[in-house]
Chain A
Amino acid sequence: MTVLLPLLLALGAAPVVLVAGVLGARPAAWASIVMAALACGATLWGRWAGGGALDVAWAPSWGLRLTFALDGLAVLYALLATGIGVAVLLYSARYLPLHLEHQGRPARDAIRFYALIVLFMGAMVGLVMAQDLLLIFVFWDLTAIASYYLIGYDRHKAESRAAALMALLVTGISAVLLLIGLLLLQALYGTFALPAIVERATPGPAQTLAAGLIAAGALVKSAQVPAHFWLPRAMAAPTPVSAYLHSAAMVAAGVFLLGRIYPLLRLSPFLLDLLLVVGLLSMIFGSVLALTRDVLKQILAYSTIAQYGYVVVMLSLGTSAGVVGAAFYVIAHALAKSALFLTAGTVTEVTGEDRLSRLGGQWRGLPVLAAASGVAAAGLGALPLTIGFFKDELFFKAALERGWPFAALATLGAALTLAYVWHFWSGIFLGPLRGEAGRPPLPLVAPIVALGLLVAVGGVAVAPAADLAEAAGRVAFADLQPVEPAYHLDARPENLLALATYALAATIIAARPRWFRLAAATARLGERVGPERWYAAGLVRLNRSSRALLALEVRDLRSRIATVLVPTAVLVAIGLWATPTEGAFRVGRITVTDLPTVLGLLLAAVGALVATVPRRPLTLILALSSVGYSLAAVFAFLGAPDVALVAVLIETILTLLFLGVLALFPAELLKDQAVGPAPRPSLRWRNVGVGLGAGAFAFAVGWATLSQPAAQESVAVQHIRLTPAAHAKDVVTAILADFRGLDTMGEITVIAIALLGIAALLGRRERPMASDERRATSDERASGEEKRRREGR
């Protein structure tokens, strides 16, 4: 129950919102807020009640189970997803109508938005509680789907569409790595249940590979270098989406997963070192690029990359302090970052500006906002009296455990963070006034104030957040050493590092003109040769090579047939080459009595060859029919007069039919065919080649088959024996009418269908024209396509 309630509330939110949407956009907004709040409350209650677990069979054939547990890690991330969700949804309830109004879209469009946000929330809650690997993946991709639609919410804008596609391709395709990792673990340990796998796992190359693949998927989701580029692009989404996805949900899912599989990661020091490198790179690159950005949301986007870099670094230090610190860091970051995103949204909404260079001095018009976001910024920058101070305290502590070089890097990262946070906040609110500000509506400020308050409260009463983080850490380290973040007024290394950070940050801020060029040049270099360029170039190249390949497709009927015959000949040749042919091909003895048969076969062969020569249709038909008659003669000689009779009959009908059809053709067409320009020699040779190949494979198959005696007594013997029982005078009648009567009925049906088809073709002119209108649009598109292609050739 403790598990089920939050889960059901979170997953049920999207349908509830859609139902409420029937009444209109406002009820949908309220429904989303209420559902998120309820889910948040239920999670808190579940934690208070001591967590719990749920385990139901899902797909026994694959040993899949619906296993959910509300452990420490799940509580932490579920609270973030639902709690920040409430704040963001409150904000959206006012923001989105304005957003839609600016774009001239109907208010009802908002319903989809609310539904998608709570769908995302539900997917997150499911993800963090799931204990079955495949279940984890299902929710993982569900977040990708929701984010795809949220990022592409303004789908009339090309920028949004491209950003949504990029996010989907990058996170969706990398998720497949995760899937491969999961399936590999299943293959190794025979189960999808994560707790069981953790128990059974032993270090080894396969285990490292599996954990590495999972980690790779997680890192891409957390926008770590070099797969970070989708995140800044995703800022094309409406601001509440950015606030939610890039603080508490989407990006957090990546580090959550690292935490979830931490016991597996820990088995391989190599993997942890790899993570460390990725985390450090993200931290430094993200921070430096954030310092150079001008657009508000871009600063925050690069900041997110950097901040999750910290979390990855902490996790990869491999100590329990690092794991707890990472969990704590996620809480502090989510609160501060969502507040800052929402600040950016409000400022842009009231001033109409989204760039630092056009903003400044806004504290005069927006004092409350300035204060609230100032607290949040201080939290992100790790100043004392905010929850952020402790995140850095834990960070330094964990880094120190690993050695001084890491502490130095941590200090550098923290200083860079403080510097860009200052760059962001002071750029908006301090300095000379730039940008006209209206009065912001209350709902666009209140959530920020609430989040700011949480950041400040966390700076005084740190225990609740610390408890959450510690409980989360216990999932990775059962024998956890408690960490107690607190203020210590002494010269312990953590404090000294904090002071060093402030000093370094002040220097960086003061020396901005000196390093700015260099940083901007780095950013430009990154844009020019960085991974985003690879993505774009890759996509363009893919489309180009696809077009080139499309041009190679054969488009005429003759080639379509040739492309069946030639590969068949090749396959048969390979088959011949691959199997022992000794004794497989036999030539029987030919006696004088066989001469008529041989003669008939020769005639047929000559007829077939002759048929390739004439260009006059009439000659062609006669040559072809001579093949048929020769074969009929062969059957007659082989002692099958009834087959011969049927063959003669069919051949006669066919020849007459062909002649009749010829008579209907316009005379000029036939003449053109007969005396017009000859086909190109290359085409002729190709035709000869294809014909010879087809003949060769048919010959090979026929010979190989006929060289074999039947493996047993043929069923024909029984047919003959049972003919009297079928009350038939001869075996053919018995077979056709009785033994295989079903086949005969089937063949009659085939004739009926063919007649239906002929009737339909003949009735073509009487067809009502209205039918064409239905597909007119797609038809035009296709015919335009056809035309282009013809012109291209």
Chain B
Amino acid sequence: MKGFLDKMRPAPEMRRILIIWFVLSVIATPLVAIFVGPLLPPGAASDAAHGQQQDNTVMTALVTPIVIALLVYFVYSFISWRVPREADVGDGPPLRGSPSIMGTWVAVTVMIVIFLATWGSYELFPGETGAGGGQGPDPLAVATPAAAKTALRVQVIGQQWQWTFRYPSFGGVETTQLVLPVNRQVRFEVTSIDVVHSFWAIQLGVKADAVPDEANVAFVKPVKLGTFDIRCAELCGLWHGHMATHGQVVSMPAFQRWIAGQRRRWAPIQKYLPPMKRTYMPQPDYRAG
């Protein structure tokens, strides 16, 4: 910064702008990071949600000085270089550009972008959880948490217009409720039997499109007990807006009790369910015409 300022020998106006910017940014950026950050979605109910919140915080903090720079510059120029209407018929100085300023600008934006892209990719690399997003049928190639092998598998099936859930490790029992044990890696496999939906567990920070004939895997590890909202995030027709339900994160024993209850409850119809598969063929004649 120092060398750059020397070289540019900023005009007094520019020096003033830079000082105002610097002061405001130094004050505002930490405030934003500390006070706005925790308000950002989706909260900290899971590792994925936490990671997303972190990203949002970093980006908000990063954008703050940029907003301030633009605002300070524009407002400063409006105030100091406006002319009363028709009072001044002259022109401004015929400046056509300055390579050093342009170069600096390009360099700064390139640096920001490289930082952002690196930071964003970091959470998607192997070993991380893939940030709770859908990662296609075969996430091993992309990102698999260490605990993936032992993860609790939950199949999420979207259809017009409701969600159902199957637990392959519990006999493939199919329920309309989603209950998850806390602090246990979960592996959602999202699919659809008609049109495209999107499984959105809001507070868990999970979102994965449900596409017919595709299994879309998303990892998450809930860390807080409580309920979370589930909505459909891809337009799927008439009652898309009502394709919503709630899920619950409970303690491991409570989960065991619940799943045992579900198995008893649905046992009579279990044999009529199609066998557990990663995807279910849409009905060939599902075209409504």
A and B found bound together? no
Which B residues form the contact surface with A (CB < 8 A)?
none
